Each structure stands twice: as structure tokens, then as C-alpha cells.
Structure 1
Amino acid sequence: MKEENYGKVRTPGAYQYVHVAFNSGADTSITVFIGYVAPGADSWVQIDDVYLAPPYGNWAGYVVPSSPRNTAPTAVTASWVEPSFPCADTAAPDHVSDWVGLDGLDHGPYESLVQIGTAASCDNRDPHTGARVLVHQAFWEVINGGQDTGEQPVPGNRPVAAGDTMSASVVRRSSDPTTYVLPLSNLTRHWTAP
């Protein structure tokens, strides 16, 4: 179905992350083969943590996986313009989130993610007309070992509206790698939430 070549690990004793995306079509099972072509000298390969995951169907973005060739970032920043879209009259969920985060590549019981951003949704209704209305909210979320806080509102009831220019960062502190700083700024309305 798909093959991904990998090479010599540059850092002795380290692992490299190899990701293979494929479409299984109508097949309900697959067999994973891991091989190695030696470079003409004594060598070996050690495999660990093979994981088959379904594709993420609800988000898209730029991912930087960690490997000896590519050190995982300790900080990430993004900017965007808060979207606007019509709310359909049906009860279908209309929801768009723009966010920036660290981790989140794994999908399963060991998933972890620290993220901050904004969400626009049609979950509310106008009290006078009953029509669905678009509501914007700043949020943060942490997934640790599969335990998810869900989208939590950024403290301070910070206003966000369609057309606002937003900027957010997630920074892992070097002095304590388990601590993160998540600043979110609304550049249009001139506020920053620490």
C-alpha cells in the first residue's frame, strides 16, 4: 500500500519517528512489514511502538514530529483572522476552531496536547427570533495521557468577533518542561490573556 524509507539515526542510541500515511480502501485489516537494507557493514534496527491510527477527520495543519533529524519545537506561534460564516437553519453542528498547540500528533490512549485559540460556533440562538447565531470565544485545552479538559474559556471573558486578528503561542518552559505559557492576543481589540 505504502512504503516509507528511513536512514541511519544520526544520534547514537536515539529513535527516529517514521510516519506512513496510507489509504486502506475497502480493506478492514492490514499487515505492517518493517525491513532494513544494511549499508554494507554490521548494523541493526530496533523497532518500538508501532501504532496504527485512524486519520484525523476534524483538523488540518502543519505538524513537526520529533526525531533525531528534527528536534521537536518547544514553542510555536500562529496568527489568524477570526472567521465568519452563516449559521444554517438546521441543527447541524457548525463549528470552526483556530488554534496553535504543542504535541497532539498521537491519537489514542497516550495522546497529549497543549493548545490555545478561538472557536466560532452556531450553538446559541437569538432569544427574540430563535435563529442560530455565530458566537466567538477564546479557549485553551490540555490533553494529557488521553484525559481531555475540553475547550475551556480563557479567563476574563475576553471579547472575540469575526474579522479580529488573533495571535497565540504555546511555550514549554525550559526550566520546567511540564509547565507551559499560553499567551493569546486580540490585536484588533488590544488585549492579551496570559
Structure 2
Amino acid sequence: MSATIRVTAMSAVAAAVLSSLAAVPGAAGTAGQLRLTPLAGHRIISPDGRVTHSTSSNWAGYAATGTTFTSVSASWVQPSVSCGSGTAYSSFWIGLDGDGSSSVEQTGSEADCSGGRAQYYSWYEMYPAYPVNYSNAVSAGDHFTSTVSVSGHTYTLTLSDTTKGWTKTTTKTQSGLSNASAEIIAEAPSSSTGVLPLAHFSTASFSNASANGQPIGNFGPDKINMASGSTTKATTSALSGGGNFTVTWNHS
């Protein structure tokens, strides 16, 4: 039997003002109106019901499903961005939920272009709440490690810039979340108008990706490429060593 294609809908993005997207990042609680939203796209399902490959308008990377997840971890190198005169965005993060659910518990880094200038910063988000930026400095080439975990209804989101020597740990309590997916993602952020232009980022290298203390490859995760219509915006490599991969920019 041939594979079938299932379409998943992106959850509604809360109201946002596009003109505020260029707000200077850095102050906690003033993350502008960018949203890091759930997966949206087409999924290829094998005859045994297993997701084998997805094409998404906003995500590239790997997402594991099929069980309850209590933790996800990974390391990555902060990509640089090549900026023209326009404004564009890219995010690199790990999280729980978002693949088939309307919540995402996530933390990561950003590489944006505003007025032709590169901007780098970091954040956490308990979607559908708005993201909150950290004030710590971020530069291209910084090495990050991160873990998102849940115990009961308490979520702990830890992000460390091991190059600059800082760590941010945020604890949030929220009930009713599904904890049904774990992912490591490069994303084109969204606003109320939809998915925003993807910044031209250097290849994002993720390593030691794990979920529930195991290499994420043990869960047969879904490999996701980012595309808009017939245009591939970012391509995800095969996994090596169970938890290492890259995401390569192809098109804005």
C-alpha cells in the first residue's frame, strides 16, 4: 500500500502587530510580536501509521512522537545571518509539544536581520503565551546547550551559552499540556500575518539531541524540511549517531 499524505493545521496565532517586529530585543518580557508556533505542514504517513517525513511552512529539524515525553535536550552552534536591506527572522530551539498540539514549551536562540543589521539573542516561550527574551549577550558562533523537562505540572527550561559562560533557567507551572512530542527545530517565526521571511542563516549544527534520556533517533523521529509551495526554504540532514544533524538554509 502506498503512503498517504495528511495535512495538519497550524494553531491560530494570537493577535500581533507587524510594525513592532523590529523592536530591539534584550529586555525580559519585551520579545516584540514574534511567535514561535506549532508545526504546520504536510505529513507523509507509511502504511503502518508511522510518520516518515514532513514538509512544513515554518519548521525544519526532527520531532519525536508516539509516547509521553518528560525531557528533551540538545546542543547547537549559533548560526550567523547574511543580511540584505530587508527584515527577516530565524530561530533555533528545543521543546516539548507543538507537533499535533496547540502548546509548545520551548527555549532557544535567534538570528534576525533588521534594517540590514544582524541581531542575536535568546528567549523562552510557553506558547500560546508570548516569548520572553533574555538580556544576556549572544554572538554568532556561540555554543549552546539546552534542556526542557517536565515533572508533574512544572516545566524547567534551561539554556546555556557555554561560550559566554551564562545559563538561564526558567520554571513555569501549567496543567493540561499533552507532553506528546519532543523536537529540535530551526524555525521561521510567525506574526498575525503568518510565517515571516526566513533569514539567510549559516548551516545550523545540532548535536546530542535526546528525549527521555535517549538519543532522539531511538524514537524514529519525523524528519522535517521547511518549504513554501514548491520552494524549499531549509533542508534537514539525516541523523548521525542517533542525535546529530544539520539544517541548511536554501531560500528565504
- TM-score, normalization by structure 1: 0.58
Mapped to 1, the partners of 2:4 and 2:90 lie a distance apart of 34
Q: In structure 1, what is the equivalent of residue 168 of structure 2? A: 193
Structure 1 residue runs of 5 or longer lacking an equivalent are 5-19, 24-34, 36-53, 126-131
Q: In structure 1, what is the equivalent of residue 65 of structure 2? A: 65
User: Displacement of 1:179 after TM fit?
Assistant: 1.3
- Checking the alignment, whether the CA contact within 8 Å between 2:4 and 2:44 is kept in structure 1 is no
Q: In structure 1, what is the equivalent of residue 125 of structure 2? A: 141
User: Displacement of 1:55 after TM fit?
Assistant: 5.2
Residues paired across the two proteins, number: 126
- Checking the alignment, whether the CA contact within 8 Å between 2:121 and 2:133 is kept in structure 1 is yes
Mapped to 1, the partners of 2:83 and 2:130 lie a distance apart of 23
Pair 1:164 & 2:164 matched: no
User: Displacement of 1:3 after TM fit?
Assistant: 4.1
Q: In structure 1, what is the equivalent of residue 130 of structure 2? A: 150
Query: Percent of pairs identical after alignment?
Result: 32
**Deviations for 1:71-123, whole angstroms, at most 9, x for unmatched residues?**
3321001111111121112x2x42111100001102xxx51110000011012
User: Displacement of 1:22 after TM fit?
Assistant: 4.2
- Checking the alignment, whether the CA contact within 8 Å between 1:165 and 1:187 is kept in structure 2 is yes
- Checking the alignment, whether the CA contact within 8 Å between 1:166 and 1:186 is kept in structure 2 is yes
Q: In structure 2, what is the equivalent of residue 2 of structure 1? A: 3
Which consecutive aligned stretches of 4+ in structure 1 deviate over 4 angstroms post-superposition? none
CA RMSD after TM alignment? 2.7
**Deviations for 1:25-56, whole angstroms, at most 9, x for unmatched residues?**
xxxxxxxxxx9xxxxxxxxxxxxxxxxxx953
Q: Could you say what secondary structure the match of 2:43 adopts?
A: coil
For residue 79 of structure 1, the aligned residue among 75, 81, 93 is 75
Q: State the AA in 1 paired with 2:98.
A: G
Pair 1:116 & 2:107 matched: yes
- TM-score, normalization by structure 2: 0.45
Q: In structure 2, what is the equivalent of residue 21 of structure 1? A: 43
Q: Could you say what secondary structure the match of 1:95 adopts?
A: coil
